[in-house]
A and B are shown apart, each in its own frame.
Chain A
Amino acid sequence: MSEAKMNVSTTAGSGQTTGRTLKINILRFNPQEPDSKPEMVTYKVPEAPNMTIFIALNYIRENLEPSLQFDFVCRAGICGSCGMVINGRPDLACRTLTSKFFLGEITLMPLPAFELIGDLSVNTGKFMRAVSERVGSWIHDEEEKQKDLDALEERMDPDTADEIYELDRCIECGCCISACGTMRMREQFLGARGFMSVARFHADPRDKRSDEDWYEVLGDDDGVFGCMSLMGCEDTCPKDLPHQTKIAYLRRRMVDT
């Protein structure tokens, strides 16, 4: 484990510190460079009030290690870009306060189960697109083309709309996928993201797919019958989506199909 030089003279943002120095271990590896080998590197970061992992990472990149790779866009838990393994659990860097870690030591690793771009950056987009195509994450309606586009859309029951909205809150951060033991062991497994997507379109009355159609997506050991109910998805989802109940629901529906 190598150790980068410590810089305690400034802090990220306001210049205020909590007086604590964080020890941040980052698994560094760049698959694009032939000589690169996976290595755990430790950085010492002066903690600022209300500091998030995301802010700490920016501090490292600005002051200690300009080549550090990690993703972010919104900084508010909406875009799902900054998913990473934080002290063993997948979570969003922008929503994780450093004050949560009592001992001040934080270990960061890239999300497993995704293609590694470099350091903490992974290609979730490629995976999410494949899931979307596999599930058919769009409204399927044979008669859609004959519909009058100028006519008002049919009204939807508010409870149904709420349920769809609830399931649509997924930000595709990939935490559920990395937290899933089944997914880690079996790469063809659909995973919680896929199940949430199925549940979303299954609940939508505009989607005309029948349970028989859904069985073609879910009905094998790569689908819902492969889920071992380890609940990693349920316990790490930053958006608190109802993985537990929806996967159980899909399983019951598919067994009855």
Chain B
Amino acid sequence: MRYADDMAPWPAVRRNGDGMKSLLEDQVRKSRMPARLDFIQSASGLALALFMWVHLLMVSSILISKDAMLFVTRMLEGSLNPSEEAGWPILVRFAVLGVLFLFVLHAVLAMRKLPANWKQWRTMRSHVKMMKHGDTTQWWVQAITGIAMFFFGSAHLLIMYANNDKIGPYLSSERFVHYGLWPMYLILLFAVELHGAVGLYRLSIKWGWFDGKDPRKTRKRLKKVKWGITVFFIGLGLATFAAYVKIGIERNEPGKIGVPYAVEKGQDH
């Protein structure tokens, strides 16, 4: 469109003209951006859901022993000899930044699907109540858990960014009890596991990944798998939560706060 250039001699106006130009071009030929956004939303959701499963499996190492959790922590910090030596906690910061990027990207894209005003909210709420339809109700659960994660997920990521060198059997437990963050972790556990499992189920339906010869039968199976996975990870998460809270209560005494497990064992942190 020539008119934007002709009419806009100043750079700022010219840039504005470019925006207008693309809007008008969209009337001639639809932008490919919605396709890309849809794909990126799915891809970022997939990456985050898989990451969260691995994350929970890693933190649940506390159920084996404190040494196992310390081993996993050091391994992820890049230690070449996790049983004896600490790694480089700065790597945790980079990992947190990477996850934060994916998290914000996914949240911004998924936000487009949420009700945008009270009328849409009321209509959807009434629709969910009217239909009593599993997949529709679970979308509602996804929306609510997604909103919860906006706040608590961001808070958790920033806390981990700031405390990248304070991860371990004792110091992590302190955050649950001494710093009183246990409600946040409990909310996050349910929000993440429900949101992630429903999200992965929906992704496979949305893109037809496992359709096979009988897509309807496959969908029924996928629903069962989804529930199985949800129950497994919430169960594992609650057990892990209890383990950290237990250690946190035991360590919540003057003189014990802030002392890492490795130091108590006589090793470097």
Contact = CB atoms under 8 A, between A and B. Distances in A.
Contacts of A219: 30-32, 34-35
A244 B205 contact: yes
A230 B35 contact: no
Contacts of B206: 227, 229, 248, 251
A254 B205 contact: no
B34 A221 contact: yes
A85 B208 CA distance: 29
Interface string B174-202: 00000000000000000000000000001
A71 interface: no
Contact of B112 (A221, A248, A254): A221
Contacts of A255: 35, 38-39
Given A184-B127, A251-B207, A232 B34 contact: no
Given A181-B139, A232-B135, A215 B30 contact: yes
Contacts of A248: 205-208, 211
A245 interface: yes
Contacts of B35: 215, 219, 225, 254-255, 257
A168 interface: no
A181 B202 contact: no
A245 B212 CA distance: 10
B135 A231 contact: yes
Contacts of B219: 231, 244
B202 to A, nearest CB: 5
Interface string A136-179: 00000000000000000000000000000000000000000001
Contacts of A227: 206
A252 B39 CA distance: 10
A103 interface: no
Contact of A216 (B29, B115, B123, B207): B29
A249 interface: yes
B129 to A, nearest CB: 8
A230 B30 contact: no
B211 A181 contact: no
B123 A184 contact: yes
Nearest to A256: B35
B43 to A, nearest CB: 11
Interface residues of B, number: 33
Interface string B204-216: 0111100100011
Nearest to A217: B30
Interface string B142-172: 0000000000000000000000000000000
A187 to B, nearest CB: 10
Contacts of A179: 131, 133
A185 interface: yes
Contacts of A242: 215
A235 B135 contact: yes
Interface in B87-132: 112-113, 115, 120, 123-124, 127-128, 130-132
B37 interface: yes
A251 B38 contact: yes
A1 interface: no
A220 interface: yes
- Residue among B32, B113, B127, B208 with the most chain A CB within 10 A? B127
Interface string A201-241: 00000000000000110011101010111111001000000
B65 interface: no
A89 interface: yes
6 contacts: A89-B132, A112-B127, A181-B128, A184-B127, A215-B30, A231-B219
Interface of A: 85, 88-89, 109, 112, 179, 181, 184-186, 215-216, 219-221, 223, 225, 227-232, 235, 242, 244-245, 248-249, 251-252, 254-255, 257
Interface of B: 29-32, 34-35, 37-39, 112-113, 115, 120, 123-124, 127-128, 130-133, 135-136, 139, 202, 205-208, 211, 215-216, 219
Minimum-distance CB pairs A-B, first 3:
A248-B208, A229-B206, A225-B38
